[in-house]
């Protein structure tokens, strides 16, 4: 009886082992196909946001973008077709769908900062971009390091860092020239606006409130929007104020907003402007009374959003909106066309330009991801 | 003499939330002169015209007042349903939070956001899953008959953690751009942007729940004597229990829909009520309603005063409620009443 039992156990164990082996092989197979994986020699060394020096193979062919911003940059640099792993949100941008036809099939190995390493391995990327929240977590970092896939941390707190990160991504995917072209345009937009607004005396500068996605979500100090709104010669009322911090986002209180009484409100989400204009709680604001609540354009991302690549366009748009007389010669339609056509190499139609500038319908409806 | 005392108690119960609502109008970041606040109230209530800056009127009438009213309603609902559950289950350790109603309602709401884009089904789903959670807790509590009070709490713990897990799952599968923010926003809940329209929508389930519980509060007294006794007094126990559970769940679901899951109020307030007015549910139920409203307004105002940026309600109620629950456990020794 005893022997019978142990034999059974033995057989079962053997079966289990066999199963494990088969499963292991199945996992190994894709790796086996990677014979053509680039060798380390000839690699470029780049420094990422948290100062890590990473050797990146010089012929990156499969790219993982686990931070939406990095996906936008890779697409801008003309490598959208090589994106093999994304975060869910990237699949829903209308323009992204056209720039990266294969994005619908890309795997989604990350959700709210946590990476599913096995799914990432299935995508077989040569290089992965992650957000700094992920890198701040030791466990996530250790997991990524075990895969052996080089990863770069993408983040920024102001325009200078944003430009650096774009350059870094360009360097890593071998498209540094195009990245520099973007940065050059970026800097030119800053300069064009700066030189005209710098003479505006402090008391004549327009006080603005920037609503991000939700009416009361806004900009805190040391964020990209705090930096670019300052460049356009605006006084951003919420920067340097005490804000409510919830789940990575900053919120202002209604009474705070009334207290600030901004002259102009710019919002980046369709529908929020209507909400503000029709809500009695906001009705006593000067911006509402004077009909100065503006919807910002939405292209690949919401212009001016903390995670947006279209900061240079947001600068031009906001400068023109706040100081129409100073910037009467700036043609937003032409700038928009130039930006997407020359820097993205994306033949944007006139109709789509109008749609971008109106900020409506730029995200695929739910369930209709590209 | 007794009648006079009773009248005084009811008068205090009715007046104190009103006083607290009135006082809430004076607290906030925006400075409105005190006489202006009174003037605004007066001219708004008499439907006259306020000869004051728009901003003052907005702050007092459109921001602070709806927030205070909704806060009072939420606190009242949580407390009254807690008192009813405690009476019904003859168990001092339960409340809608402990029995899983809040998590169930939260999950129902998240599910409604996932399935339908519109928010109109939220209340229906919140109510349904809240009710389901109580029933499940109750059934688990009956598995083991020796220590019913603890078992019911345990059942509630199980059910609410399952529903919390389901909430996390719903968040996980939600679309990160539209649905997830909606769910998070909704579960976090906040009175901060409360408007009169919100009172009109969320006030209905809350008002119905409160009215129902107030109307049958004497039956809770009878039910709390036990099924056999209640039946011998000619009460249809199944029906009465059903009504009490439905009303309490409705009130809780309404509250959760407004301000997210706020723990502990429903547990602590009825006990404070018992210390003040005694065990008789006929007085305890309205007392809990009133105390809950006052407590929530107090906590909300504290949260606004302590720091410039508001402290979420749930944090403060848990800091007060957690230790109090331990005290209750010690006092009741985990047994019955």
pLDDT in tens, A287-328: 999 999 999 999 888 999 999 999 999 999 999 999 999 999
> How many Å lie between the alpha carbon of B56 and the closest alpha carbon of chain A?
9
Q: Do B309 and A245 touch (CB under 8 A)?
A: yes
Q: Is B200 on the interface with A (CB under 8 A)?
A: no
Are A40-180 and A200-358 in the same CATH fold? yes
Which one of B28-42, B45-59, B171-185 scores highest in mean pLDDT?
A: B28-42
Nearest to B308 among A216, A242, A261 (CB): A242
**Three-class DSSP category at A270:** coil
Residue B141 has a pLDDT of 85
Residue contact B59–A255, C-beta within 8 A:
yes
Mutate: best of B24, B25, B29, partner A, most A CBs <10 A: B29
DSSP calls for B28-70: SSS---HHHHHHHHHHHHTT----S-HHHHIIIIIIIHHHHHH
| B7 vs B179 pLDDT, higher one | B7
Tokens of B269: 């307030």
Q: What percent of chain A has pLDDT over 90?
A: 52
Q: How many helices (H) and strands (E) does chain A have?
A: 15, 14
pLDDT at B188: 65
Residue in B212, B193, B225 with CA at minimum distance from that of residue B90: B225
Cβ atoms B155, B289 nearer than 8 A:
no
Count CA atoms closer than 13 A to B288's CA, side-chain side. Answer: 33
Best mutation target, A258, A362, A365, A368, to test chain B (most B CBs within 10 A): A258
Q: Give me the residue label for tokens 């809430």.
A: B24
CB B257 within 8 A of CB B308: no
| Residue A188, CA distances (Å) to A193, A198, A204, A313, A323 in order | 9, 15, 24, 11, 18
Of B177, B179, B185, the CB nearest to A363: B177
User: Domains of chain A: which residue ranges?
Assistant: 40-180, 200-358
Contact B181 A245 (CB under 8 A): no
For residues A84 and A106, the answer to whether their CB atoms sit within 8 Å is: yes
> Which residue in A213, A259, A276, A281 has the most chain B C-beta atoms within 10 A of its own C-beta, making it the best mutation to test that interface?
A281
Residue at token pair 């890590």: A52
The pLDDT of residue B160: 93
CA distance A233 to B13: 56
CB contact under 8 A, B193 and A243: no
Reported as a single tens digit per residue, the pLDDT across A98-119 is: 888 888 888 888 876 788 888 8
Binned at pLDDT 50, 70 and 90, residue A181 comes out as: very high
- What is the ipTM, given to two decimal places? 0.73
Task: List, in order, residues 6 or more apart from B280 with CB less than 8 Å away.
Answer: B221
Q: Are A32 and A41 in contact (CB under 8 A)?
A: no
A207 vs A301, which has greater pLDDT? Answer: A207
Other beta carbons less than 10 A from residue B106's beta carbon: 30
Average pLDDT over residues B257-270: 86
Residue B58 has its nearest CB partner, among A111, A244, A258, at A258
Distance CA(B97)–CA(B109), nearest Å, equals 16
pLDDT value at residue B183: 78
Around Cβ A247, how many Cβ atoms within 10 Å? 10
Three-state SS string across A38-100, please?
A: CCCCCCEEEECCCCCEEEECCCCCCEEECCHHHHHHHHHCCCHHHEEECCHHHHHEHHHHHHC
- Would you call A279 and B63 a contact, using CB atoms and an 8 Å cutoff? no
Rounded to the nearest 5 degrees, what angle is found at the Cα of A212, between the Cα atoms of A211 and A213?
115
Distance CA B10, CA B290 (A): 10
| Contact state of B309 with A242 under an 8 Å Cβ cutoff | yes
Q: Which residue among B172, B188, B312 places its CB closest to the CB of A111?
A: B172
Q: Which of B265, B175, B260, B280 is nearest to B218 (CA)?
A: B280
What is the tens place of the pLDDT at every residue in B222-236? 988 888 888 888 888
What's the pLDDT at A24? 46
A97 vs A332, more confident:
A332
Tell if the CB–CB gap between B63 and A281 is shorter than 8 Å: yes
Burial class (CB in 10 A: 0-12, 13-18, 19+), B20: buried
DSSP letter for each residue of B227-278: HHHHHHTT--HHHHHHHHHHHHHHHHHHHHHHH----SHHHHHHHHHHHHH-
How distant, in Å, are the alpha carbons of A66, A154, B108, B129 from that of B170?
A: 21, 28, 10, 14
Chain A residue with CA closest to B180: the answer is A112
Q: Which alpha helices (H) appear in B89-147, and where do they start and end? A: 101-115, 122-141
Mean of all residue pLDDT scores within chain B:
86
Q: Please, are residues A266 and A238 in contact by the beta-carbon 8 Å criterion?
A: no
A244·B193 Cβ contact <8 A: no
Nearest chain A CA: its distance from B38 CA (Å)? 18
Q: CATH for B2-29+70-332, among 2.40.10.410, 3.40.50.300, 3.40.50.920, 1.10.3470.10?
A: 1.10.3470.10
Instruction: State in words which class domain A200-358 has.
Output: alpha beta
**Min CA distance, A244 vs chain B (Å)?**
5
| Number of Cβ pairs < 8 A linking chain A and chain B | 75
Residues of B in contact with A283 (CB under 8 A): 54, 58, 62
The tokens describing B327, both together, are 């005290």
Count how many Cα atoms sit within 13 Å of the Cα of residue B330 in the half-sphere of its side chain. 6
Is residue A242 within 8 angstroms of chain B, CB to CB? yes
Which class for B184: exposed (0-12), middle (13-18), buried (19 or more C-beta within 10 A)?
middle
H helix intervals, A33-80: 68-76
Token couple for A230: 């300052």
Q: Alpha carbon A196 to chain centroid distance?
A: 29
Establish if A283 touches chain B: CB-CB under 8 angstroms: yes
The answer to whether B58 contacts A281, with C-beta atoms less than 8 Å apart, is yes
- What's the gap in Å between the CA of A283 and the closest CA on chain B? 7
Would you give the distance in Å from CA B48 to the centre of its chain?
Answer: 34
Give the residue among B261, B241, B248, B327 at the shortest CA–CA distance from B102: B261
Look at A253 and B310 and tell me if their CB atoms are within 8 Å: yes
Tokens 């709401």 belong to which residue?
B109
CA distance A145 to A124: 15
Fold (topology level) of A40-180: Rossmann fold (3.40.50)
Take residue B159 and report the two structure tokens written for it: 């059910």
Confidence of residue A363 (pLDDT cuts 50, 70, 90): low
Q: How far apart are CA B232 and CA B252, in angstroms?
A: 31
């Amino acid at each position: 009886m005893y022997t019978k039992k142990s034999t059974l156990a033995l057989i079962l164990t053997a079966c289990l082992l066999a199963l494990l082996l088969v499963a292991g092989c199945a996992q190994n197979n894709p790796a086996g196909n990677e014979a053509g994986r680039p060798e380390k020699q000839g690699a470029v060394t780049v420094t990422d946001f948290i100062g890590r020096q990473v050797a990146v193979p010089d012929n990156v062919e499969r790219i993982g973008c686990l931070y939406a911003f990095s996906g936008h940059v890779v697409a801008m640099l003309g490598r959208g077709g090589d994106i093999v792993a994304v975060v869910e949100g990237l699949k829903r941008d209308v323009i992204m769908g056209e720039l990266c036809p294969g994005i619908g099939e890309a795997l989604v190995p990350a959700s709210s900062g946590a990476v599913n390493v096995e799914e990432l391995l299935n995508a077989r990327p040569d290089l992965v971009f992650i957000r700094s929240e992920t890198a701040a977590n030791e466990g996530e970092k250790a997991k990524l390091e075990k895969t052996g896939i080089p990863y770069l941390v993408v983040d920024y707190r102001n325009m200078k860092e944003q430009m650096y990160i774009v350059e870094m991504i360009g360097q890593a995917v071998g498209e540094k020239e195009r990245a520099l072209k973007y940065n050059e345009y970026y800097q030119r937009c800053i300069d064009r606006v700066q030189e005209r607004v710098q003479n505006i005396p402090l008391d004549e500068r327009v006080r603005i409130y920037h609503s991000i996605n939700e009416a009361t979500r806004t900009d805190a100090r040391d964020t990209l929007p705090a930096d670019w709104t300052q460049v356009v010669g605006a006084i951003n009322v919420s920067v340097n104020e005490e804000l409510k911090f919830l789940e990575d986002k900053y919120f202002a209180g209604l009474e705070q907003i009334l207290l600030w009484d901004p002259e102009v409100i710019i919002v980046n989400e369709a529908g929020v402007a209507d909400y503000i204009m029709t809500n009695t709680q906001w009705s006593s604001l000067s911006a509402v009374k004077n009909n100065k609540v503006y919807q910002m354009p939405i292209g690949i991302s919401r212009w001016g959003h903390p995670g947006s690549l279209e900061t240079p366009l947001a600068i031009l748009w906001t400068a023109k909106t706040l100081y129409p007389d100073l910037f009467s010669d700036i043609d937003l339609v032409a700038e928009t066309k130039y930006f997407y056509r020359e820097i993205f190499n994306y033949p944007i139609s006139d109709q789509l330009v109008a749609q971008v500038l109106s900020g409506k319908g730029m995200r695929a409806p739910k369930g209709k991801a590209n | 003499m007794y009648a006079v005392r009773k009248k005084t108690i009811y008068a205090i119960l009715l007046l104190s939330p009103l006083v607290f609502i009135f006082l809430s109008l004076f607290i906030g970041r925006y400075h409105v002169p005190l006489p202006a606040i009174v003037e605004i109230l007066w001219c708004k209530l008499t439907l006259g015209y306020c000869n004051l800056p728009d901003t003052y009127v907005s702050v007092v009438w459109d921001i602070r007042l709806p927030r205070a009213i909704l806060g009072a309603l939420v606190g009242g609902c949580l407390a009254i349903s807690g008192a009813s559950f405690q009476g019904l289950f003859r168990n001092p350790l339960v409340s809608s939070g402990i029995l899983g109603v809040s998590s169930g309602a939260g999950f129902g709401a998240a599910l409604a956001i996932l399935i339908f884009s519109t928010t109109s089904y939220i209340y229906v789903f919140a109510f349904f899953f809240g009710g389901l959670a109580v029933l499940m807790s109750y059934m688990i509590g009956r598995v083991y008959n020796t220590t019913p009070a603890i078992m019911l709490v345990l059942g509630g713990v199980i059910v609410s953690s399952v529903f919390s897990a389901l909430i996390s799952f719903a968040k996980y599968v939600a679309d990160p751009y539209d649905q997830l923010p909606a769910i998070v926003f909704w579960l976090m809940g906040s009175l901060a942007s409360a408007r009169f329209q919100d009172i009109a929508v969320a006030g209905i389930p809350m008002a119905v729940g409160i009215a129902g519980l107030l109307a049958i509060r004497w039956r809770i007294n009878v039910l709390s004597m036990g099924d056999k006794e209640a039946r011998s007094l000619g009460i249809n126990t199944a029906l009465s229990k059903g009504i009490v559970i439905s009303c309490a769940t409705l009130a809780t679901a309404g509250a959760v829909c407004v301000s997210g899951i706020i723990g502990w109020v429903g547990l602590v307030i009825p006990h404070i009520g018992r210390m003040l007015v005694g065990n008789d549910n006929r007085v305890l139920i309205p007392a809990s309603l009133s105390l809950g409203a006052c407590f929530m307004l107090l906590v909300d105002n504290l949260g606004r005063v302590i720091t410039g940026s508001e402290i979420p309600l749930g944090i403060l109620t848990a800091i007060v409620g957690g230790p109090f629950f331990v005290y209750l456990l010690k006092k009741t020794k985990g047994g019955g009443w």
